[in-house]
Each structure stands twice: as C-alpha cells, then as structure tokens.
C-alpha cells in the first residue's frame, strides 16, 4: 500500500499538498546527509511510521472527518485534534505513512502544513482624524460596539476597566483575562483604551467600546494556523449563542507568509476570515511587516473581502500630512492573485498604548516603557486595531451597516496623495470623520 518514498509522495500528490508541506516533506531527508547510505532505507521506513507532521486537512464535504477516523485507528502516531465548524477541515498530526493513505482518498481536497503564525510587531489617533469624532453634535466613542482582539490575550489594564466583555484561551486554557506576551494588550488599547491613567493622553478611538480577548498566540507571540482558525470560529459561534451581546469587529494583528495557491480562498486562514465577514463581522487584518518589497502581504490580509491595513509613519505631526510616509516595514501589494493591497493605511509607528506588566515584551523591551502603564510599539499590528476602533465608531453611528458598506466608506473617505501607488498606500490615509460622513449619506 505504501509504495512511495517520502519525496515521491510529495511529487505524486503535489496537487493536493500546499507548498510549505511539500517543502517540509523534502526536509525530512536532512538527517540522511549525516548517516551512512547503508542505513538510509531503514531510516526512511522508521521516519514514515514515526515522524509526526502538523497538518490541516480540507475535505470536499463537511462530514469528511468522520471517514478519516478510520485512518486514525490504523496509525497509532496519528491524532485528529480539532474539527472546524465553519470550514470543511480538521487539524491533525499525521505520519508520512498515514498522509499517503489520506491523500489517496477522493474526499480529501487539500492538505496544508499547520504552519506557524506570529504577531506582526516591528523590532495616531489624532492623525487618523479619529479624536473627538462627532456627527450632528453627538460624540462617537464606540459605546455599544464590541471588538474581538484575536491575539496573545488581554491584561486587565485600568484603561479597560469594566469593558473586557469576554475572554477565551486556546493556548493554556485559562479562564480569566491575562496576557503573557503583551502584544494583545497593546492592540486592545490601540482600539479601545480610554486613557484613564494618562488623563486621556493615550486614548484609542473607540474609548467606550467593549473588547473580547481571544488568546491564540503563546508567550512569545507565536501560534499555528489551526489555533487562529479556532479563535475566529469561536467569534462566529459567540454571536450565534449570545443573546445580549455580539462581536461586531475582529482585529487580527497577526499573520503568516502568504502562499501561491490557485485561488486566494484556498488558504484556510482566508476561508475562516471570510466566513466571519459573511456572517456580518467586520474583519480588520494587518498587511504584514515584510516591506518595502512588493508582493509581501501576509495571510489572511490577502483576502479580497476583508479590510487589510498598512502602517503609516505620521512623524508625530497630527496637524499636517505633508511629511507623512508609509512605514518602511509595511508590506506592499499586490497579492499573488493580482489584488491591490493594502486597502487603507493607518498610523503604526511609535504608537503608545497599554503595557502588560511582567509580560514577555515588557521584560525584553524595557526601553519602550512609557511610565508605569504604557509602552511604545510599531507595526501593522498597531495600525490594525486603530482601524478596528474607527470601525467601532462607524458602527456606533450606523449599527446596521454591513461589512461591505463599512469597507467602502473607509476607502472612499480616505485621503490619497497625488501619484501614490495603491499597492503601497491602498485607498489612502484613513479619515474617520469623512468615513462616518459617507455612511450618513
């Protein structure tokens, strides 16, 4: 039954394997460089039975995972971890031997390496025209709107007091809000910090919005595709089961290197993000920090549906935009699929927001601390939740606005300098007041 070598397996089923998984299979042979040829066959037989590979298996039909359980019984080193609810896929650990059997199945559409995803941190609000936003004399603060921060967690900071509406931990299984990295807390403040301990100085645009912490990244800001997808699906399910409150916006300040799939929605992370969008949740995702090269937009930011956010350096001059430039690190478009990205750019350089004491970043970036309660960070990670906060203002003004209407107003309301490349600047510099004005029409 198991006639192929591991390399032959990667070649024969290349159409069913994503590129990272093909490369991973070939990399299994690296130890062969340092072992005698006489034991290569024996070593390969052992690896085919024992080497565990983290994968995501996609099916043509939703119930495909049930048939896969029969394969699991035949391989003691194989384990199915999680069946996704909204996309026809599951996460698993498989051996090359089990993988060959899986690939032979007609109900299996594609197998992806469960690759690593990380927080998009590079080692504001007044500039975005998002301070003191008012329409017809009514101030907008994000009140009544909920933003899910899918990240490293949220520390219960004084600037978020009484507004952490929910918390779930897919990394360590804890129930009370915490953040052992610090990235998610900073992002929560970028969107919704009220500046209570800075007399309003360091305040996010949606300073009365609620936040929900969805911890999918570990202490060092890393995770895998399946955990991110579970976090997004949890947000969708939260809305289906919660009677009183719902998540209006998902902020994704994370991502992984995009892959040249035949179509953008072959990417499982894109599938999950677009499913949330289709369910009525506005999804804001970071463009990535792989600039200044072109074609460096991260996944899921490659999605044509969701809002992809690049980072701008406003030079700390909110009064003028003449000196503003795209941040050197901000990823550029187009995507592999010819889609112009990012959609919009938002301040993302030297952003002061909430500090999570004793977290990983707090310990290793002491130079970025601003007093006792704040710290400065840069990245499309910071630009994304600021954009999410602006979306919260828009939804407070027009609660029944659809994700497509929000995206359209953001882009049409943006300010674009003359002769600027849309694959660098997108539609232009976010302008909260103008975007909300367009919703009013």
Whether the predicted pLDDT of 123 surpasses 80 = no
Q: What is the mean pLDDT of residues 180-197?
A: 97
Q: Which residue did the predictor score with more confidence, 45 or 276?
A: 276
- Domain positions in the chain are 6-114, 118-440
The pLDDT of 397-406, averaged and rounded, is 97
326-381 pLDDT, tens digit per residue, is 999 999 999 988 999 999 999 999 999 999 999 999 999 999 999 999 999 999 99
* 82 carries an active-site annotation: no
Provide the CATH number for the domain formed by 118-440 in this structure. Answer: 3.40.50.200
Beta strands in 330-440 (DSSP E): 344-347, 351-354, 369-370, 374-377
pLDDT of residue 3: 54
Going by their DSSP bridges, the two strands 53-59 and 89-94 should be labelled as antiparallel
The yes-or-no verdict on residue 263 having pLDDT over 90 is no
Please tell me the predicted confidence (pLDDT) of residue 324.
73
With a cut of 80, say whether residue 71 has pLDDT above it.
Answer: yes
Nearest to residue 122, comparing CAs of 347, 417, 358? 347
CA angle 345, 362, 301 (to 5 degrees): 30
The residue behind tokens 């990399």 is 27
Give the least confident one: 194-208, 319-333, 354-368, 425-439.
319-333
Instruction: Lowest mean pLDDT of 15-24, 159-168, 255-264, name the range.
Output: 255-264
The predicted structure's pLDDT at residue 2: 44
For the 6-114 domain, the top CATH level (class) is: alpha beta
Pairing of β 254-255 and β 116-119: antiparallel
Residues in contact with 222: Cβ distance below 8 Å, sequence separation at least 6, in sequence order:
116, 117, 118, 119
Model confidence at 205, pLDDT cuts 50, 70, 90, reads: very high
Band (pLDDT 50/70/90 cuts) for residue 318 is low
Instruction: Please determine, for residue 322, whether its predicted confidence score (pLDDT) is greater than 70.
Output: no
Encoded tokens for 428 = 């232009």
Prediction pTM value: 0.91
Residue 61 confidence (pLDDT): 84
How confident is the model over 241-254, as a mean pLDDT?
Answer: 92
> CA-CA distance, 119 to 218, in Å (whole number)?
10
Q: Which of 89, 127, 157, 183 is catalytic?
A: 183
pLDDT band for position 427 (cuts 50, 70, 90): very high
Strand partners, 82: 91
Question: 105-109, 154-158, 222-226, 313-317 — which is least confidently predicted?
Answer: 313-317
Of 118, 127, 141, 151, the catalytic one is 151
When the pLDDT of each residue in the chain is averaged and rounded to a whole number, the result is 90
pLDDT reported for residue 66: 83
| End-to-end Cα spacing for the chain | 65
Q: Is residue 330 among the annotated active site residues?
A: no
CA atoms within 13 A on the CB side of 46: 8
Indicate if the pLDDT at residue 325 is higher than 50: yes
Q: How confident is the model at residue 316 (pLDDT cuts 50, 70, 90)?
A: low
pLDDT value at 127 more than 60: no
Closest listed residue to residue 369, CA positions, set 381, 348, 350, 355: 355
Q: Which of 253, 353, 378, 381 is catalytic?
A: 381
**Which pLDDT band holds residue 37 (cuts at 50, 70, 90)?**
confident
**180 belongs to the catalytic site:** no
Q: What is the mean pLDDT of residues 304-311?
A: 97
Mean pLDDT of 84-108: 93
Alpha-carbon dihedral angle through residues 356, 357, 363, 368, given to the nearest 10 degrees: 60
* CA dist list (Å): 238 to 47, 115, 143, 252, 391: 41, 26, 19, 17, 20
Tell me the average pLDDT across 146-168: 98
- Report pLDDT for 176: 97
52 or 262, greater pLDDT = 52
Task: Tell me the range of 178-182, 199-203, 412-416 where mean pLDDT is highest.
Answer: 178-182
Give the pLDDT score at 1: 40
* 128: pLDDT strictly greater than 70: no
pLDDT at residue 126 above 60?
no
């Amino acid at each position: 039954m198991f006639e192929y070598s591991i390399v032959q397996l990667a070649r024969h089923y290349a159409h069913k394997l994503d590129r990272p998984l093909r490369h991973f299979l070939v990399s299994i042979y690296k130890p062969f460089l340092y072992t005698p040829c006489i034991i290569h066959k024996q070593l390969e037989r052992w690896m085919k039975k024992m080497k565990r590979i983290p994968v995501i298996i996609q099916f043509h039909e939703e119930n495909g995972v049930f048939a896969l359980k029969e394969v699991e019984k035949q391989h003691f080193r194989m384990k199915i971890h999680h069946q996704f609810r909204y996309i026809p896929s599951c996460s698993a650990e498989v051996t090359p031997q089990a993988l060959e059997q899986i690939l032979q199945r007609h109900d299996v559409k594609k197998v992806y390496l469960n690759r690593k995803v990380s927080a998009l941190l590079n080692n504001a609000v007044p500039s975005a025209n998002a301070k003191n936003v008012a329409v017809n004399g009514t101030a907008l603060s994000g009140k009544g709107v909920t933003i899910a921060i899918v990240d490293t967690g949220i520390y219960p900071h004084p600037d978020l007091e009484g507004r952490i509406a929910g918390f779930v931990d897919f990394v360590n299984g804890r129930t009370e809000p915490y953040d052992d990295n610090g990235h998610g807390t900073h992002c929560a403040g970028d969107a919704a910090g009220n500046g209570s301990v800075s007399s309003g100085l360091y305040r996010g645009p949606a300073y009365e919005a609620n936040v929900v912490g969805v911890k999918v990244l570990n202490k060092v800001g890393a995770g895998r595709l399946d955990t991110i997808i579970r976090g997004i699906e949890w947000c969708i399910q939260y809305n289906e089961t919660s009677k009183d409150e719902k998540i209006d916006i998902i902020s994704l300040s994370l991502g992984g290197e995009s892959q040249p799939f035949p179509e953008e929605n072959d990417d499982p992370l894109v599938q999950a993000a677009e499913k949330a969008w289709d369910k009525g949740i506005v999804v804001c995702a970071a463009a990535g920090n792989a600039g200044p090269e072109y074609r460096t937009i991260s996944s899921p930011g490659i999605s044509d549906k969701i809002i992809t956010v690049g980072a701008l350096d406003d030079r700390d001059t909110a009064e003028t935009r003449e000196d503003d430039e795209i941040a050197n690190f901000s990823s550029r478009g187009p995507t592999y699929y010819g889609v112009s990205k990012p959609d919009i750019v938002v301040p993302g350089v030297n952003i002061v927001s909430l500090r999570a004491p004793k977290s990983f970043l707090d310990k290793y970036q002491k130079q970025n601390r601003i007093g006792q309660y704040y710290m400065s960070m840069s990245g499309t990670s910071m630009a994304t939740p600021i954009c999410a906060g602006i979306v919260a203002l828009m939804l407070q003004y027009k609660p029944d606005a659809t994700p497509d209407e929000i995206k359209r107003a953001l882009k049409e309301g943006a300010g674009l300098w003359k002769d600027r490349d849309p694959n660098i600047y997108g539609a232009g510099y976010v302008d909260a007041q103008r975007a909300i004005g367009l919703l009013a029409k």
